[in-house]
């Protein structure tokens, strides 16, 4: 342990102030990065979460050491850990293309709460180290993550007459490790024969040539047309 923090580890007015100060500081540092990226939970939210967790930890210590209440000193802190899950869940959304957003913000809120608990318990070294590592993860690792190559989702707009055509496409995708994350089918009865339109969102598990799949679909009997629809970075659909 670092000796410079020894004077503010005991439960006193001075240590209460510094514990809350460090909790607000650590939460604010994490929140600034989230606010800069215009996330739903930003600067003030992270400070409030860290402060609340810090007060909960100190309250548990106070009840056990000063008020002499026969209670589990860690009970309040454990409830904070559970309650943070509900707060974080409010930042997670599913887009129209069935992609999940907000997981990093939810994890950041949860981490801010744990850091607040560490500050409230007087574990300053752990809180400051976690904050530093959190900022490295949110900034440096975010930059590295953008350069990790991965196969992007793509969509196919399929028009066909025979139902067996869609079954053949789904079987082909399964055999080639192409996961279908979303599928919607519409039927038109305006013509003499029923005409089906299907939109498939496909997620390759490895680098895959989309043209190969399109050629296969066009060769199926009963298929009128197939077009590829790409999802850009803003999850908007555009034809190619």
Least confident segment among 44-53, 86-95, 195-204: 86-95
Question: Torsion angle of alpha carbons 177, 181, 182, 185, nearest 10°?
Answer: 20
Asked if 114 and 35 sit in the same domain, the reply is: yes
Which pLDDT score, from 0 to 100, does residue 228 have? 82
Do 161 and 129 lie in one domain? The reply is no
User: What are phi and psi for residue 145, nearest 5 degrees?
Assistant: -65, -35
Question: Is residue 107 located within the same domain as residue 196?
Answer: no
Pick from 97, 126, 146: which residue ends a domain? 146
- Mean pLDDT over all residues of the chain? 78
Q: What is the pLDDT of residues 155-189, one digit of tens each?
A: 888 888 888 888 888 888 888 888 887 888 888 76
What is the average pLDDT across 124-136?
86
Q: How many helices (H) and strands (E) does the chain have?
A: 7, 7
Strand partners, 223: 160
User: Rounded to an integer, what distance in angstroms lies between the CA atom of residue 58 and that of residue 130?
Assistant: 19
Quick one: 46 and 91 in the same domain?
yes
Beta strands in 102-205 (DSSP E): 154-160, 178-188, 195-204
- Indicate whether 112 and 197 sit together in one domain: no
Q: Give the domain-ending residue among 89, 120, 146.
A: 146
Domain residue limits at 226: 154-239
Which two three-digit tokens encode residue 96? 């129209």
Indicate whether 111 and 27 sit together in one domain.
yes
The verdict on 107 and 19 lying in the same domain is yes
Cβ density class 155-168: b for 16+ within 10 Å, e for less: bbebebeeeebbeb
Q: Are residues 14 and 63 in the same domain?
A: yes
Q: Which two tokens stand for residue 115?
A: 């850091």
pLDDT given for residue 237 in this prediction: 40
In this prediction, residue 139 carries a pLDDT of: 79
> Quick one: pLDDT band at residue 50, thresholds 50, 70, 90?
confident
Together in a domain, 134 and 184: no
pLDDT score recorded for residue 151: 64
Identify the CATH number of the domain in which residue 222 sits. 3.30.70.260
Are 186 and 115 contained in the same domain?
A: no
* The dihedral formed by the CA atoms of 55, 109, 78 and 1, expressed in degrees to the nearest 10: -70
194 and 126 in a single domain? The answer is no
Describe the crossing of helices 43-65 and 75-89 by its angle, rounded to 10 degrees: 160
Residues 11 and 114 in one domain: yes
Q: What percent of the chain clears pLDDT 90, i.e. is strictly above it?
A: 0
Q: If 0-12 CB within 10 Å is exposed, 13-18 middle and 19+ buried, where does residue 228 land?
A: middle
Number of domains in the chain: 2
Which residue has tokens 């899950």? Answer: 85
Distance of alpha carbon 40 from the chain centroid: 12
Nearest to 131 by CA among 36, 26, 28, 34: 26
Residue pair 148/88 in contact (Cβ under 8 Å)? The answer is no
- Give the CA distances from residue 148 to residues 145, 152, 156, 195, in Å, rounded to whole numbers and listed in that order: 5, 12, 25, 41
């Amino acid at each position: 342990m670092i000796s410079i923090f020894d004077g503010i580890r005991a439960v006193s007015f001075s240590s209460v102030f510094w514990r809350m100060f460090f909790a607000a500081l650590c939460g604010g540092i994490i929140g600034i990065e989230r606010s800069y990226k215009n996330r739903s939970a930003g600067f003030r939210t992270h400070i409030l979460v860290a402060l609340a967790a810090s007060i909960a930890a100190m309250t548990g210590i106070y009840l056990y050491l000063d008020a002499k209440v026969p209670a589990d000193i860690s009970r309040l802190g454990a409830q904070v850990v559970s309650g943070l899950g509900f707060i974080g869940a409010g930042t997670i959304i599913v887009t129209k293309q069935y992609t999940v957003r907000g997981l990093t913000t939810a994890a950041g809120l949860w981490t801010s709460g744990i850091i607040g608990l560490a500050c409230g318990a007087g574990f300053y070294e752990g809180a400051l180290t976690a904050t530093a590592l959190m900022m490295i993860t949110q900034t440096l690792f975010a930059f590295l993550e953008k350069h990790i190559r991965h196969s992007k989702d793509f969509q196919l707009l399929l028009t066909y007459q025979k139902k067996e055509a869609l079954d053949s496409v789904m079987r082909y995708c399964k055999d080639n490790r192409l996961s279908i994350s979303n599928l919607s089918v519409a039927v038109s009865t305006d013509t003499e024969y029923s005409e089906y339109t299907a939109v498939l969102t496909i997620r390759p598990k490895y680098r895959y040539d989309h043209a190969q799949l399109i050629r296969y679909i066009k060769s199926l009997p009963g298929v009128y047309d197939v077009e590829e629809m790409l999802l850009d970075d803003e999850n908007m659909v555009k034809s190619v």
